[in-house]
Amino acid sequence: MKPLQQRTDKYGQKYVPATVSLKVAAQLSTMHAGFAGSGMADLYAKEVLMQAALNAITPSIPTILYPFYLNFGRQLWAASHKGLNGYALADTGHALKTKYLAYGIAAPGIDAIAALFSVTGI
């Protein structure tokens, strides 16, 4: 087992600003490509569909509650983007629905957003 001083010294060396900037600079082009690539374009497209689905619900959902619904959708998107699908995505959707229902968000909006991810019956 390494002594405490050796561990703290090693930690300090890893996070020297010059070292960190070199590591980030080396990864910057990949980071930009990943952010601007299919990930953000796909998320943006889903957010537009989520807003359209929320706008179509009658009685209308107060606009002030949209961020909660959009966060539900973003969390589903993140799970699907990480490779979850089928039953695993449905289980995640069910858990998220339970969480957002506890916040006081109405089920029809949650179900409409979940349907955009092919998650039904949650």
pLDDT computed for residue 102 by the predictor? 95
Q: What DSSP designation does 44 have? A: H
Its pTM stands at 0.75
How far apart, in whole angstroms, are the C-alpha atoms of residue 9 and residue 116? 50
pLDDT computed for residue 80 by the predictor? 93
Q: Dump strand ranges (E) for the chain.
A: none
pLDDT in tens, 16-32: 888 888 888 888 888 88
Token couple for 18: 């010059």
Cβ neighbours, 10 Å, residue 62: 7
User: Which amino acid belongs to residue 109?
Assistant: G
Query: Which residues in the chain show pLDDT less than 70?
Result: 38
Cβ neighbours, 10 Å, residue 50: 23
pLDDT computed for residue 36 by the predictor? 74
